[in-house]
Amino acid sequence: GAVVSQHPSRVICKSGTSVKIECRSLDFQATTMFWYRQFPKQSLMLMATSNEGSKATYEQGVEKDKFLINHASLTLSTLTVTSAHPEDSSFYICSAPSGALQFFGPGTRLTVL
Amino acid sequence: AQSVTQPDIHITVSEGASLELRCNYSYGATPYLFWYVQSPGQGLQLLLKYFSGDTLVQGIKGFEAEFKRSQSSFNLRKPSVHWSDAAEYFCAVGAPFGPMNYGGSQGNLIFGKGTKLSVKP
């Protein structure tokens, strides 16, 4: 099946710094990728849809200036959390569709001190 | 409003016992339904899906689920649980295929809050 990777798997940063998370489709191309956020003991919430060659589409309530998304190629989307604060600490998961299904990355655990 | 409800936050079963995880959904149209499993530190893995046709669907690892439209449910079952099944299980609902705007797949999957399964030896 299709494989999606994320890097890094864990990151700890100081408040005020920016963190970049990469999402790659390893064996297929994805013109669209999705970014989700998962709080502890909560469900996954879609943050934004990343579109190759155009601007990302953000869900209501998600700050686009804080969560910068760049879909640089057909196999790579990046999520940059700018000026991170402790409330941004969470588990970030990306996914990419292949055919009728979405394939999920393993997630990135972000901890902001 | 569209939503997915998994009423059980945490379930513990003995190894070898049967399992049923409940999922109810609220959706304005005919939904596509999914069950995913998430192990600690792992990504989401698709167990099974329902798009149309036979309402009893078989998945990987011996799991099955039954779509009951009248009850708006899509419960996950397994006749005999193994210790390796301990994980978090998520039910999700998505839109039917629309225009081919992203490869034919739906984008916004709505997830339930998950059910954590523990397995006693």
The CA distance from B111 to the nearest CA of chain A, in Å, is 6
- Minimum CA–CA partner of B106 in chain A: A100
Q: With bands split at pLDDT 50, 70 and 90, how would you rate the model's confidence at B108?
A: low
Amino acid B51: pLDDT: 86
Amino acid B99: pLDDT: 36
Span of B9-13, B80-84, B91-95 with lowest mean pLDDT: B91-95
Cα gap A49→A67, rounded to integer Å: 12
The kind and range of the H/E element at B26 are strand B24-26
CA B83 vs. chain centroid, Å, equals 19
Taking the CA atoms of residue A74, residue A2, residue A8 and residue B34 in that order, the dihedral angle to the nearest 10 degrees is 110
The CA distance from A14 to the nearest CA of chain B, in Å, is 23
Does position B95 have pLDDT exceeding 90, yes or no? no
Amino acid B86: pLDDT: 96
Kindly write down the DSSP assignment for every residue of A5-26, as one continuous string. Answer: EEE-SEEEE-TT--EEEEEEES
Q: What is the mean pLDDT of residues B15-35?
A: 91
| A93–B44 C-beta distance less than 8 A | yes
